Structure 1
Amino acid sequence: MRKILLLAAASLALSTAAYAQTVKVSVTAIVEHPALDAVRDGVRDGLGEAGYKEGENLEFTYESAQGNTATAAQIAREFVGNNPNVIVPISTPSAQAVAAATREIPIVFSAVTDPVAAGLVKSNDEPGANVTGVSDLSPIADHVALIKELVPDVKSIGFVYNPGEANSVVLLNLFKEAAEAQGVSVVEAPANKSADVQAAARSAVGKVQALYVPTDNTIVSALESLIRVAEENDIPLISGDTDSVERGALASVGFNYYEVGKETAEVVVRILKGEEPAKIPVTFASGTNLVVNRKAAEGMGVELPQAVIDRASKVIE
């Protein structure tokens, strides 16, 4: 009996030691802006809630590519060289860079619009290889409907985006389809880098009755210059993410990106506990909320309908 008890105690000790052993999770994003930062924080906090805490049994590393795809590739190679348990790339460009750098280390992407179109997974149900994650595919039809509600006489919408971001091209096509179905045309306003955003927005002035910015990392990182154009010309600016409304966009129906990060952490935990990413289906971010900004409405010459205010989950004064 004593021998059995000793063996059981030793087994428990080994199990506890294995759980307490430090795991390494490396996180990267293409650029720093509130939505992507919220994902990062959600990942870290979600891991903490699951028992993986910084300074105890978690080594959490974060690096931003500062909007540079070459830097994203460099960070990916650096992370691979450090051999973490899981790499979490936030945004499509960062996910593509990490996926190109390793076929072995598990990858859990987050805030990727269309992982199949981006070449990250074979299919959403059966990712294959070493990659899975969480998609933040925007509720595009709801965005178009919101624009029509806020700007009843809208005939054309300016779509400001970086054509070099695969996720933005996917969103553009979805937006055109949804807009046309609701009797509205779309005017493209491309910007290849942050410095081009203001000029891109100005190119749409006089042609559109509203501007739309998707979950495009290049455009969102330079959102203030886009807001300036919208306010100077009394053109309502609607965003694809709710964090941009806090920064001065008029309104959005979107996700809580902190919660998207926590959903991502749940997938990371499954892998840390032994599941293979190839067998974990891609998760689509859950929950939408309506956020409106009264101050932005005044600056853009818009009177917010009471019906919109009444159903908003958050009204920024």
Structure 2
Amino acid sequence: MKTFNNKIFIGFFVVIILGALIVSSKLSHSKKDVLTIGVLQTISHPALDAARDGAISRLKELLGDNVCIITQNAEGSAMTAQNIAASFHNNKQISAVVTIATLATQAMAKIEKEKPIIYCAVTDPKSLGLVHDKTNACGITDAVDINQLVERIKMLLPAAKNIALLFNPAEANSVSFVKDMDTILQPLDIKSLHVGVNNECEVSSAATIAFEKADAVVIPTDNTIASVMSVVAKAALKNNKPLFICDDFLFTNGVFGCTGSVNYHEAGRQAADLIMDIVNHKKTPATILAVGPAPKKMIVSQKMACALNIKIADTLKNDIEIRE
């Protein structure tokens, strides 16, 4: 009887050990299957928030509970962006990083040479040195069709001779935009006036100068200006001048036109899809490089057109979206 009891005890003990090993194996496998993604955002404003939310929601759709997302925001500080990038680089659990806008992308690309970097809301990745055959970065650009923008301005404002470009010269995306605008405007006998700001506090006075000296003001996809767009819109109303922007998330009272901008939420979702292609070894960043945005119509405010006494030609109405 004692031997029989010992056999029962040993058998029961073996079952417990085997059960524990199976559970441990499942937990270990589950933990291993969790994909950790870092998200580094340049600053908070509607467009970039939409890109972030789009990326996160898509990753959760695709992976459910098997994704861990670490989100950090530099809030416009280059030093903070660099510190966050360093922490993501040193975190061995992170498999890939989503960077939102140029500052975040620059900071991450400077330190990370192996983990995939998938950028979003970057206007000119080539100027950042990210487009080459050995790159570990790829993503979705928000480059504006500047030729179309200038063409629309000419049709809406045929008498315009001076266009002010309001931007932060420290933002590479804005500098690229301004350079292209200058090239296109020069042969058209339209002068471009550069009005730069270094921070949000300078926007109000700079906007006043821009509207006083120009027939219209154009703002690129500039994160500094975007953070205080309402200030610029008020200046447009006060000076009774047309304001053109490149981000329909910022389309508000005082803005006359918005060139065919990017759906930033969808761009974020596209970035998440690129992550899956890369981590599943279907593609590499070097084979993806930069994906351009889908074309969109220019948006024009009917209210501002009436206030500014701007007539929208019938020939243009099929090519633009008119909002009340």
Same fold (TM over 0.5): yes
| Number of residues of Structure 1 aligned to a counterpart in Structure 2 | 295
Within 1, Cα distance between the matches of 2:161 and 2:181? 14
Residue among 39, 44, 55 paired with 1:32: 44
Change (3 A) 1:299 1:45: farther
After the TM superposition, which residues 136-151 of structure 1 pair with which residues of structure 2 at under 5 Å, given as runs? 136-151=142-157
Tell me which residue corresponds to 1:21: 33
Percentage of identical aligned residues: 29
Within 1, Cα distance between the matches of 2:177 and 2:79? 24
Within 2, Cα distance between the matches of 1:68 and 1:88? 18
Change (3 A) 1:292 1:137: same
Work out whether 1:87 is the aligned partner of 2:93: no
Deviations 1:109-148 (A, max 9, x none): 11111112112x243xx3x232222222111111112222
Note the aligned Cα RMSD (angstroms).
2.4
Residue among 117, 139, 142 paired with 2:127: 117
Tell me which residue corresponds to 1:277: 285
After the TM superposition, which residues 68-217 of structure 1 pair with which residues of structure 2 at under 5 Å, given as runs? 68-83=77-92, 84-119=94-129, 121-123=130-132, 126=133, 128-217=134-223
- The amino acid across from 1:135 in the alignment is T
Structure having the higher helix fraction is 2
Change (3 A) 1:298 1:24: farther
> What SS does the corresponding residue of 1:111 show, helix, strand or coil?
strand
Instruction: Note if contact 2:218-2:243 (Cα within 8 Å) is conserved in structure 1.
Output: yes
Runs of 5+ consecutive residues of structure 2 not aligned to the other structure = 1-24
Instruction: Note if contact 2:236-2:254 (Cα within 8 Å) is conserved in structure 1.
Output: no
Tell me which residue corresponds to 1:43: 55
Runs of 5+ consecutive residues of structure 1 not aligned to the other structure = 1-12
Q: Which structure's CA Rg is the greater one?
A: 2
Instruction: Note if contact 1:161-1:214 (Cα within 8 Å) is conserved in structure 2.
Output: yes
Change (3 A) 1:107 1:129: same
- The amino acid across from 2:52 in the alignment is R
Within 1, Cα distance between the matches of 2:204 and 2:56? 34
Using the size of structure 2 for normalisation, the TM-score is 0.83
Within 2, Cα distance between the matches of 1:85 and 1:276? 14
Within 1, Cα distance between the matches of 2:202 and 2:139? 31
- The amino acid across from 1:273 in the alignment is N
Deviates more, 1:268-277 or 1:241-250: 241-250
- What's the offset of the Cα at 1:182? 3.4
Deviations 1:198-227 (A, max 9, x none): 221222233210000000111111111111
Deviations 1:150-197 (A, max 9, x none): 222111110001111111111111011122243321100100111111
Within 2, Cα distance between the matches of 1:246 and 1:64? 25
- What's the offset of the Cα at 1:243? 1.8
Using the size of structure 1 for normalisation, the TM-score is 0.84
Instruction: Note if contact 1:242-1:251 (Cα within 8 Å) is conserved in structure 2.
Output: no
Work out whether 1:52 is the aligned partner of 2:63: yes
> What SS does the corresponding residue of 1:85 show, helix, strand or coil?
strand
Change (3 A) 1:279 1:298: same
Change (3 A) 1:181 1:260: farther
- The amino acid across from 1:280 in the alignment is I
